[in-house]
Amino acid sequence: MSKGSLCLVSFLILFTIPVNCQPDTQPPLPPVLNLVTVSQVTGFSEISWTLSPSPDVKGYVVYVFINDEGYAIDTIRNPLASNYTHSSLISSEVSRSYVVAAFDNAGNISTLSNVLKTIYLTSRLDSCSGKIEIGWNSYPSYPREVLSYTILGSLNGGAYTEAGKVPKDVNSYTISQFSFNAQYCFIVRADMEDGFASVSNNRCLSTKMQVPPQWINAGYATVGSANNILLSFTIDPASEIRSYILERKTGVSGSYSQIHHFKEKGETFVYSDANADIRKINHYRLSALNSCNIPVTVSNIASNIVPELNRQGDDIILSWNPYKEWRGGVGSYILSVKTGSGYEDMYTILPYDTLFTVRYSDIMYEVAGNEVCFIIKAFEAFNPYGVPGESHSSDICTEVTEIITVPNVFTPDNNLVNDLFFTVLSFTPEGYHLLITDLRRKTVYESRDHTQAWDGTRGGDPLPEGVYLWYLEVRTPSGKAVKRRGTVTIIRQGR
């Protein structure tokens, strides 16, 4: 006998003779693996293939493919079978590769098919940067070309909707706009030619994280009585953050540097900057830091007002930098003048003006002391959070002009023209004494009140025309003792 097997061949059923037959050692052609995807219902891998073209296929073997080797997971004894579900949740933990082989009636097994693998998706909440990062492995582009990847998302168990789309050579996606304290689930779909698609595992995460403030309002940067800069900030009450840094920048070209770290939760923070130069413009901002010490919310800028002064004769010219940077803008400025009763608001200035002229002669009798001083006040027009700001500049002063003028003639005839004799002072004196006598040195009028005037009478009786003597002693705001004397002539017109 040869190595062939014994076969019985019948001829017209009349007789049977044994002959040698060659064994079937030709394996069938392999199938083509069409698609591997993850079921969104069960989480199992679903596999489909194109049938082997060989005529004597008896069934198929499904393998997982690891390190270039196939490990059989099931045998399907159906020549028309073209799909299989791997009832394992391993695809939720890793990307799993699969191959399929065909076998025939003689037990011959084909070579392995092409390799396809599931898409394994990962997602991570980066609370420090405030974003969700999604990544996945590439899906093979054979037998169908991958065209793109679509990212689908579900919020709090809702329907999946498209969150983004990337080209086929991109394997990551970042979501920066999302809700806090919510449940997000994501899947990635590889979109292929002919409408085919492979879907990844489902990955969910919670966005429970420290809620940052939606806003921080810089209320004011105002100069205090101790030549410090007082600051106030209001925080969104919904904030859960407990770390805030206060920064200062001096001048336009400077850079911000930290001057204080608030380590507490609060709705209002106040601070006194005793190290600032109030004669320079200082800018301030407050930033909320997340758990990674990364600023997540920054306030508007607050800056102190620095006034400047220039004298031109009777004019006192004041200028200042506009207040920066109220959310509601500047509503108005008020110029406050220091009088004997303290600072008094005297002039309201339009919000777009930062230059104003005061005539010294208009305010000279309101001023006390040897200087006239001013403060600029700024008022916020409207604040969206209900905390309108008010900021005061440092004061700026100029010396009082000490001028004493005494007339030498007046006409007390009750015609309302030059009827009174009085000294003209450009200041409010610290001390004042006026004495008027006739030529025989007999007192006709005396006063210690610089606001009083002489009407040309003695004890209410009109005095005759003629020359009279006056003696004046004044103590100026600068402390000078001034003594003067002279004459004044009474002229009664119409006589």
Tell me whether domains 32-117 and 404-490 share a fold.
yes
- pLDDT category at 115 given cuts 50, 70, 90 is very high
DSSP codes of every residue in 100-144: EEEEETT--BPPP---EE---EEEEEETTTTEEEEEEPPPP-SSS
The continuous run of DSSP H or E covering 166 comes out as strand 161-167
Architecture, CATH, for domain 404-490: Sandwich (2.60)
Phi first, then psi: what are they for 344, rounded to 5°? -125, 135
pLDDT tier, 4 (very low <50, low <70, confident <90, very high otherwise): very low
For 121-206, CATH gives: 2.60.40.10
pLDDT digits (tens, 9 = 90+) for 374-417: 999 999 999 999 999 999 999 999 988 777 889 999 999 888 88
**Mind spelling out the 3-state secondary structure of 311-356?**
EECCEEEEEECCCCCCCCCEEEEEEEEEECCEEEEEEEECCCCCEE
For residue 233, give Cα distances in angstroms to 266, 332, 492. Answer: 10, 21, 70
Measured CA to CA, the distance from residue 319 to residue 206 in angstroms comes to 56
Give the least confident one: 11-25, 263-277, 445-459.
Answer: 11-25
Give CA–CA dist 107/320, Å, rounded: 98
CATH number for domain 32-117, candidates 1.10.1330.10, 2.60.40.10, 3.40.1190.20, 3.50.50.60: 2.60.40.10
In words, the CATH class of domain 216-303 is mainly beta
Mean pLDDT confidence for 179-202: 95
Q: Is the pLDDT of residue 6 over 60?
A: no
Residue at token pair 């080797």: 69
As a whole number of angstroms, the distance between CA 201 and CA 37 comes to 9
Report the percent of the chain where pLDDT is more than 70: 95
Query: What backbone torsions phi and psi does residue 371 show, to the nearest 5 degrees?
Result: -135, 150
**With bands split at pLDDT 50, 70 and 90, how would you rate the model's confidence at 21?**
low
Over its C-alpha atoms, the chain yields an Rg (Å, rounded) of 49
AA letter at 75: T
Res 314: pLDDT: 85
Q: Which two tokens stand for residue 478?
A: 């600068």
- Reading the block at residue 352, the tokens are 């777009």
Residue 370: per-residue pLDDT: 79
> Over 90: is that where the pLDDT of 10 sits?
no
Domain boundaries, the chain: 32-117, 121-206, 216-303, 307-399, 404-490
Q: Tell me: pLDDT of 5 over 90.
A: no
For residue 77, report the phi and psi dihedrals to the nearest 5 degrees. Answer: -95, 65
What pLDDT, on a 0 to 100 scale, did the predictor assign at position 1?
Answer: 31
- Evaluate the omega torsion of the peptide bond into residue 212 and state whether it is cis, within 30 degrees of 0: no
Mean residue pLDDT of the chain comes to 91
The CA distance from 248 to 301, in Å, is 10
Q: Give CA–CA dist 464/2, Å, rounded.
A: 172
Lowest mean pLDDT among 227-236, 261-270, 284-293, 399-408: 399-408
244-250 and 229-235 strand pairing: unpaired
pLDDT tens digits, 87-97: 999 888 999 99
Report the alpha-carbon distance of residue 435 to residue 471 in Å, rounded.
5
CB 334 within 8 A of CB 347: yes
Confidence band, pLDDT 50/70/90 cuts, at residue 493? confident
Say how far apart CA 295 and CA 293 lie, in whole Å. Answer: 7
Per-residue pLDDT, averaged over 22-44, amounts to: 94
Instruction: Give the C-alpha separation, 144 to 152, whole Å.
Output: 22
Query: Which pLDDT does position 32 carry in this prediction?
Result: 98
The pLDDT tens digits of the residues spanning 198-214 come to 999 999 999 887 788 99
CB atoms within 10 A of CB 477: 18
Element at 362 (helix H, strand E): helix 360-363
The structure tokens listed for 120 are 């394994």
Q: Quote the pTM value.
A: 0.56
Left if phi > 0, otherwise alpha if psi is -120 to 50, otherwise beta: which for 369? left
pLDDT reading at 313 higher than 90: no
- Whether the pLDDT of residue 256 is over 60: the answer is yes
Q: Which CATH superfamily groups domain 307-399?
A: Immunoglobulins (2.60.40.10)
Q: What is the pLDDT of residues 438-450, one digit of tens each?
A: 999 999 999 999 9
What pLDDT was estimated at residue 204? 95
Give pLDDT tens digits for 341-378: 899 999 999 999 999 999 988 888 788 777 899 999 99
If you average pLDDT over residues 126-148, what whole number do you get? 92
91 three-state secondary structure: helix
